Amino acid sequence: MNTSNAQNNLDAVKFRAQALTRIRDFFAARNVLEVETPLLSQGASHDCHIDIFPVIVDSNASLRYLQSSPEPHMKRLLARGYPDIFQICKAFRLEEQGRIHNPEFTLLEWYRKGFSLRKMMEETVELCLLVAGSRPVVYATYSEVFLQATGLDPFSATREQLLTQSAIAKSGLDADHFSEIGDLLNFLMSEVVEPSFDPKALTVIHEFPLRLSSQALPSPSFPGAALRFEIFCGGMELGNGYEELRDPFEYRVRFEAENQKRQNAGKPFIPLQQAWFSDMESGLPPCSGMAIGLDRLILLGLGITDFAALLEFPWKNA
């Protein structure tokens, strides 16, 4: 590494350290407790679109999983009576590599009891601006941005209508690749809608379709929508949050549905962790949760566009 690159990386490391201090001060001022939960677990995310790292942990071939998020354990803490909590930790997702992807990355996740979705959105924006610096903030619904970018209503469009989008043909993927409407919505959101966002602004998108929101409460005012939001800068997603589903039975139904999708896609079945359900049956309090990709947020604060300039040891040479 030449001297110039070494200095740039050192500057990034210093900025990250300062950002972590600001984040911890932000939560300390709000009496949000920092916690630490396991990276290896008997269970993991059931989301069909998240591929996880299985790990054999002993000579009996016992299987554990590297966590893609601290969410399961943090919810268990809340169900056991913990106050508002946050965590800064490593997370792992298989086969995610690129300019703003690394299979090992840092997540900032927090939970606020009694917070409405709107209140969580406002707090998330405040925290992001603390690290990313002053910039415009835009709020819009999922329907508004999807309709503007594609000409289709995501809540009423048929599979056939979604398949007519030019981005599908350009992708080279055939219709069988998109087994469900949700797959098409996710693809078009990523490839068509998100790139249309203002690259200088934070864009907060809320009222996601419930079919794309497996751990969020249904919206009481918009049938088919969920109390879920995501925050972006340009086409880069920074984080995902929602008012949390609390019913253990409904969680089981949704997790089993995601596992079925995994099996249909040729992906491994992820066992339901009974200890998780035991804690949930104690009662998850009304709360909202948020997860931010901290590395991406720090990219914004530094004004750079690639993990290569931020991570001292990216995946290819870790």
At 281, which CATH number? Answer: 3.30.930.10
Report the distance separating Cα 98 and Cα 235, nearest Å: 14
150 inside domain: no
Q: How many domains does the chain have?
A: 1
Q: List, in order, residues 6 or more apart from 137 with CB less than 8 Å away.
A: 125, 129, 201, 202, 203, 204
310 inside domain: yes
75 inside domain: yes
* β-pair partners for 65: 41, 54
How would you list the strands of the sheet with 63-66, edge to edge?
40-41, 63-66, 54-56
pTM, 2 dp: 0.94
Q: Which residue segment(s) compose the domain that 15 sits in?
A: 3-136+198-317
> Which pair of tokens denotes residue 133?
């610096």
| Amino acid code (one letter) for 25 | D
180 inside domain: no
As a whole number of Å, the CA-based R_g of the chain is: 20
Residues for the chain: how many in total?
318
83 inside domain: yes
pLDDT (tens, 9 = 90+) of the chain, 318 residues, equals 455 555 678 889 999 999 999 999 999 999 999 999 999 998 888 898 899 999 988 877 788 999 999 999 999 999 999 999 999 999 999 877 888 999 999 999 999 999 999 999 999 999 999 999 999 999 999 999 999 999 999 999 999 999 999 999 999 998 888 988 999 999 999 999 999 999 999 999 999 999 999 999 999 999 999 999 999 999 999 999 999 999 999 999 999 999 998 988 888 889 899 999 999 999 999 999 999 999 999 999 999 988 988 888 888 888
257 inside domain: yes
CB 144 within 8 A of CB 209: no
246 inside domain: yes
154 inside domain: no
Q: List, in order, residues 6 or more apart from 49 with CB less than 8 Å away.
A: 186
